[in-house]
Chains A and B, each alone.
Chain A
Amino acid sequence: MADLSIDEITSLARAVGLQLPEALLAEVGHNLNALRELIDEVQASGLEQIEPLPIIPPHERSPHE
């Protein structure tokens, strides 16, 4: 997975209404690229079939549970 460039980091920030100070751009880039890489590296069989954990408040659960 190719690293995101500084321009791409800036665009991602703009998309959520944030303007990143120039002094932080490189470090945010290191941080996000590291996290992308670490998560991308995790290979788990059947992952595409997984539905993320639903958290249901106790009072909304069936009384038969």
Chain B
Amino acid sequence: MNNAEMPFLSAATLGELIHKKEISPVEATTAYLDRITAVDGKLHSYITVCREEALQTAREAEQAIIRGDWRGPLHGVPFAVKDQFWTEGLRTTGGSRLLAEFTPTEDATVVARLRGAGGTLLGKLNMSEFATGNSVYHPFGTPHNPWDLDRNAGTSSSGSGAATAAFLCATSLGEDTGGSIRNPANNCGLVGLRPTWGLVSRYGMLGACWSMDIGGPISRTVEDCALTLQAIAGYDAHDPYTENRAVPDYRGGLTNTTKGLRLGVVKEAMDADFVHPQVKAAVSKAVADLNAQGLSVEQVSIPLLTSAAAVTRAILAVESASLHHEWLRTRLHEYDHQVQIDFLTGAIMPAQLYYKAQKLRTLIRRQVFDVLQKVDVLALPSSSEPAPLLPQGSGLKSKDDARQRMSGRRSLTGVFNLANVPALSLPCGFMAVAGKELPIGLQLAGRPFNDGLLLRVAYAYEQATPWHTRRPPI
């Protein structure tokens, strides 16, 4: 195989060819590094590329294969992670000037596990500053969407979305506090899973909001997503909130068997006036396709869904501001303008407002759990629209302007962060906007620790549709 074609393989296929010794880990890593060099100047998806370390890891992976020491399906497969995860000896910026010189002395648990699975770390991916999702200024270059360079790759795991969609890594990790995995997956036409809170360790991950943060895969296919989750999931003594339970075989669970499952279409999302009609049409068609595959379909209601964005924002603002309180006093001017506004708002928020938000979170969680007693999987749009244009400038002009930013599409994802249940986005169609074809995302959500069921339903849908086979024009 021509080296230039290797990056276009799925992670699963590449791993199989490496296992069969038809491709060497060094060839695969070199192919990705060459493509990063050729393409990433347009995308700014990477903050740091660790070329020499990656090649060294690949050489070691190659020797291990020769010795017969095969570590599994990700052995020799090049991956990249959001620059929110610690990497030993490699700077971890959080997308911020404040951490431009921060070099951890150990790996985040998820990074260590991917390395342990035989993967080769290519580098660290761009992101919104400290994963807030609102920053406009990116000190390491503004990430662009490979489907249309004028558009947003999604926040806050922007680089994970852009790099994975542009074939600059075989699979990647993002982090999702209010939708930061699913939004890049929506905007870039990828499969992004926010795992159940407690399934994946947060150790070594720069925090945004402790009670909602979690890392997860952003991949090009459901199978790649399952393989990546397999590597990172499971108990970690360093994170007291990880559950000590057996991790299922996510890849082995990928079958087209969906007959008998119950799918609930979330009324408030499909009725929302902020969701584009073509997005609703694409999601409705996807639901009909799933129905044809044997899932029963009914409408369900989460009455507080459209308030989820504001509730998420109130909790996130307070929790993130508490993490940054000292720097807000001493290094405020080094943050992005919008991040300054958001963190300062959280720092001075009256306690009763935060407490009401926490009560509303409990109610929202109950409503999500109530509908998940009736159905196995929820379906709704991942976002209100395809990738929007990159923001031009920051600043809040009025209270109404601020209200707009705390409403709308963020409710579609935030509702599941508040409930701490797993949620996944995968492409379900394309929409022509200003002469460009942009992906649309279908979101699926389920009960805690039913991540495998979401992957199974997503896989069945993916196998019956062509969306994952399209390539961005870059």
- Scoring A residues 9 to 49 as 1 if CB is less than 8 Å from chain B, else 0, what string do you get? 10011011110110010011011111111110010100100
Contact of A38 (CB < 8 Å), options: B243, B310, B325 = B310
Assess the A24–B348 pair: CB atoms within 8 A.
no
- Beyond A39-B356, A44-B304, is A18–B242 a contact (Cβ under 8 Å)? no
**Bound Cα distance A53, B350 (Å):** 19
Are A50 and B359 in contact, CB atoms less than 8 angstroms apart? yes
Nearest neighbor of B333 in chain A, beta-carbon distance: A21
One of A18, A27, A34, A52 near B347 (C-beta < 8 A): A18
Kindly state whether residue A51 has any CB partner on chain B within 8 Å. yes
Residue on B with the closest CB to A15?
B348
Q: Are B348 and A28 in contact (CB under 8 A)?
A: yes
State whether A35 touches B359 (Cβ < 8 A). Answer: no
Q: Give the CA-CA distance A36 to B358 in the complex, in Å.
A: 14
By a CB distance below 8 angstroms, the chain B residues around A15 are 348
Q: Does B240 contact A (CB under 8 A)?
A: yes
Beyond A13-B347, A33-B399, A53-B358, is A28–B341 a contact (Cβ under 8 Å)?
Answer: yes
Determine whether B6 belongs to the interface, using a CB cutoff of 8 Å to chain A.
Answer: no
Question: Is the pair A47, B345 in contact by a Cβ cutoff of 8 Å?
Answer: no
A28–B314 CA distance with the chains assembled, in angstroms: 14
How many Å lie between the Cα of A24 and that of B344 in the bound state? Answer: 9
What chain A residues lie within 8 Å of B406 (beta carbons)?
34-35, 38
Chain A residue numbers with a CB within 8 Å of B345 are 28, 31-32, 35
Q: Are A35 and B310 in contact (CB under 8 A)?
A: yes
Report the Cα distance A52→B360, complex, angstroms.
Answer: 8
Chain B, 325-363, contact with A by CB distance < 8 Å: what is the 0/1 string? 100110010000000111011011110010111111111
Contacts of B332 in A (CB 8 A): 21
For the complex, is A2 an interface residue (Cβ under 8 Å from B)? no
B234 nearest CB across to chain A (Å): 12
Range of interface residues on B (Cβ < 8 Å): 35 or more
Residues B360 and A42 in contact, CB atoms below 8 Å apart: yes
- Do B347 and A44 have beta carbons less than 8 Å apart? no
Give Cα A51 to B361, complex, Å: 10
Contact A30 B347 (CB under 8 A): no
A59 and B356 contact, CB distance less than 8 A: no
A17-B329, A37-B399, A42-B307 given as contacts; is B362 within 8 A of A31 (CB)?
no
- Contact across chains for A32 and B363 when beta carbons are under 8 A apart: no
Residue contact A35 to B313, C-beta cutoff 8 Å = yes
Q: Is the CB of B241 within 8 A of A47?
A: no
A20 to B329, CA, bound (A): 9
Most chain A beta-carbon contacts within 10 A, residue among B307, B325, B357, B359: B359
Q: Which residues of B contact A24 (CB under 8 A)?
A: 340-341, 344
Query: Is B401 engaged at the interface, CB distance under 8 Å to the other chain?
Result: yes
Contact in complex: A27, B362 (CB < 8 Å)? no
Question: Are B342 and A31 in touch, CB under 8 angstroms?
Answer: yes
| Contact of A52 with B314 in the complex, beta carbons under 8 Å | no
The CA-CA distance from A50 to B258 in the complex, in Å, is 37
Cβ of A58: which chain B residues have Cβ within 8 Å of it?
Answer: 198, 240-244
Tell which of A13, A17, A34, A44 touches B360, judged by Cβ atoms closer than 8 Å: A44
Contacts A18-B348, A35-B345, A35-B349 given; does A30 touch B402 at CB 8 Å:
yes
Q: Which residues of A contact B328 (CB under 8 A)?
A: 18
Q: How far is the CA of A54 from the CA of B402 in the complex (A)?
A: 30
Measured in the bound complex, the distance between the Cα atoms of B363 and A52 in whole Å is 9
Contact A31 B353 (CB under 8 A): no
Is B211 located at the chain interface by the 8 A CB criterion? Answer: yes
Q: Mark B302-326, 1 if CB is under 8 A from A, else 0.
A: 0010010011011001000000010
Once bound together, how far apart are the Cα atoms of A61 and B418, in whole Å?
Answer: 21
Pair B307/A27 contact, Cβ less than 8 Å: no
Given A39-B314, A58-B241, A31-B402 contact (CB < 8 Å) = yes
Min CB–CB distance A29 → chain B (angstroms):
8
Asked if A52 and B361 sit within 8 Å, CB to CB, the answer is yes
8 shortest A-B CB distances, which residue pairs? Answer: A34-B402, A52-B358, A38-B310, A12-B348, A57-B240, A50-B359, A31-B345, A34-B403
15 pairs, CB–CB < 8 Å, chain A vs chain B? A13-B348, A30-B402, A33-B399, A35-B313, A35-B317, A35-B345, A35-B353, A36-B350, A38-B310, A39-B357, A50-B363, A51-B359, A53-B362, A55-B241, A59-B244
Other than the given A28-B345, A42-B310, 20 more pairs (CB < 8 A) read A9-B348, A16-B325, A18-B329, A18-B344, A18-B347, A24-B340, A28-B344, A30-B401, A34-B403, A35-B402, A39-B311, A39-B314, A39-B360, A42-B307, A42-B311, A51-B362, A53-B365, A58-B198, A58-B244, A59-B240
